[in-house]
Amino acid sequence: AASKLEISMPAVVEVEIGGTARIECNFYIPENASYTYIDWFYVDRSNKQVRLYHVTADGVLEDDTDYKKRLSLGDDKALSISAVTVHDARTFVCQVGAGSYGVGESSTELSVYSELPAPPYLCSWLSLPPQIARCTSKNSFPPPNITWHKNGEQLHAQENGVTIQATLTRESSGLYTVSSTLYAPVTRQDRHSRYHCTVHYWLRGQRRALESRQVTVNIFYPAEHLKLQVVSSSAPVKEGDNVTLVCEADGNPQPVFSFFKKNLNEWQDLSSLAEPDSGVLNLRDVNRSSNGTYKCQSLDLDDMSQIEEKVDLVVNYIEGVRVKMEPSSTLREGDSVTLSCDAHSPVDLQYQWRDEKGRKLVEGSQLFLRNLTFETSNTFSCKVMAPSVPGLEQSKKVSLAVEGKPRIVAISSPLYVRQDEVINLTCKAIAFPRPTVQWSINGTAHEYMDNQHVASNLTVRVSHDLLQAGAMCRVSNRLGVSEKHIQLLDQKSTAESQGVIIVAIIVAILVVAVLGAVIYFLHKKGKIPCGRARKQDITKPEARKDKIVVEVKSDKLSEEAGLLQGANGEKRAAADQVGRSDGQRL
């Protein structure tokens, strides 16, 4: 057991601003003796102890200090301070008096901190090397520490020309604002370097850190290299494309760019066509004349140094598409013709023939057509393509005129009409040169083109003479004439004739039906025996002598009427002939 008074207190007590700090004072007196008094003090800026409490067996005395309304004393005589501020960051002392065992004391450092300092704010200078950037952190307590980093690696003062200057400001709130400025030499290689700062602070006894955003430094340096390139929507470049020449320098700031095109032994200045201060020259809808050598020239305004770079622009093209026809003389129906297509280009070409509807006819430069007619498609197209240059193609159309005398292809004949009726007569023909259509009768004619055909409609009233004679369509051109007759039929007479025919057919059908019924009935009664080479007697066995019997040969019913006989006066020879005849038909 200890033989003297002992007092123990925590060395440090941490508390957040606005919170309540509790400082314990634990003591031991030998033989369980009682304390005489307990006093609490704080140490002011002049290092003087200011009493807060005086505790005895008779009671507790609180001194009149700035803490009076924020202090409290626990049953275990621990000191509590509420609504802690940054000004409470000081040393608190507990003193215990124990009579004959003397007086003892101990102290605790009260550490006050803000929950989280404001994120660091990084300000960079774009063109003021070696001053790189300034980092500021506000509302910290206790004051934080700021470090600098380049591309993730920490920079240290006095190394490689690095200088770091820091300032510390205590605000009216008692919190601190810390600023740090980085100075460092830079070169062209630092144009892509990234800098940031880190704020290190203490929180609940642990070291914490907040990082700022990363910044780059705008470094001025002259250009050393120049690059000129051709940018196009298609490669290789073809006629009709939009081409952009892009000139880039590795200096900062960018120099002044100028563009030129070589014409023979001179350079043509194209700078007026370029986008201002951009190093971009746009060439729209390029053609064969756009081919050539282009030059970009840069001028550094600081040291007036110049750099230039050249590039060749190759524009692929197809020109001189032409079609040759053999034979070249006038074509007539039934002739044959060969169409040949040709063109010029710096690259290999392919040919294709199509008809006027765009349907592919043949691959190759020649198209052979045989047995030409008026109906043969009169427009053909030669499509020229460059397989090595996607999208480069041209077409050439050629029209064939097949000549010949007119050919009537459609006519409204025969035509059923009624007298005094107004009718339309139609005549359609095809020919080249275009023919004329004439009618043999008077009327209102309307002529029009129907595809490749010439059609004529004649409106006329049907007269007796027209009904008898009909009409004649005559089509002619300088190569010949074609005629066709239109027959007009009286619709009424035709209808009557058709009625008579129909009635006759119906009567014939009825006669055949009745005759068939009679034969069927007699057969059922057994009156008509069947068999070959037998005589058939169609008279009844009980026939009286005054009855008349007619014998008819079955294969000559229209020529023989038979013999009139009495009942007892039959001629057997005739009966035998009929029987033989009937037997042959059965």
Which position has the token pair 């050919």? 407
The pLDDT tens digits of the residues spanning 11-33 come to: 999 888 889 999 999 999 888 88
What pLDDT is recorded for position 2? 57
Query: Cα separation of 388 and 271, whole Å?
Result: 33
Residue pLDDT, tens place only, 193-245:
999 999 998 777 678 888 999 988 888 888 889 999 999 988 899 999 999 99
* Fold designation for 319-400: Immunoglobulin-like (2.60.40)
Query: Strand, helix or coil at 118?
Result: coil
301: which 2 tokens?
């305004």
DSSP-derived 3-state class of residue 181:
strand
Find the helix or strand (DSSP H, E) in which 509 lies.
Answer: helix 491-525
Q: Which CATH superfamily is domain 6-113 in?
A: Immunoglobulins (2.60.40.10)
pLDDT per residue over 94-151, tens digit each? 999 998 888 999 999 998 887 677 778 777 664 555 788 899 988 888 888 999 999 9
Q: Is the pLDDT of residue 66 over 50?
A: yes
* Under 8 Å between Cβ of 70 and 79: no
Answer CATH for 404-490 from 1.20.140.10, 2.60.40.10, 3.40.50.300, 1.20.120.1200: 2.60.40.10
- Check for a shared fold between 6-113 and 131-216: yes
Strands (E), 76-127: 79-81, 91-97, 103-113, 121-124
CATH code at 226-313: 2.60.40.10
* Domain parsing of the chain, residue ranges: 6-113, 131-216, 226-313, 319-400, 404-490
Q: Render pLDDT for 289-344 as a digit per residue (tens, 0 to 9).
A: 999 999 999 988 877 888 999 999 999 999 999 999 998 888 888 899 999 999 99
Superfamily (CATH) of domain 131-216: Immunoglobulins (2.60.40.10)
**Strands ordered across the beta sheet of 71-73:** 21-23, 79-81, 71-73
Helix (H) or strand (E) segment spanning residue 502:
helix 491-525
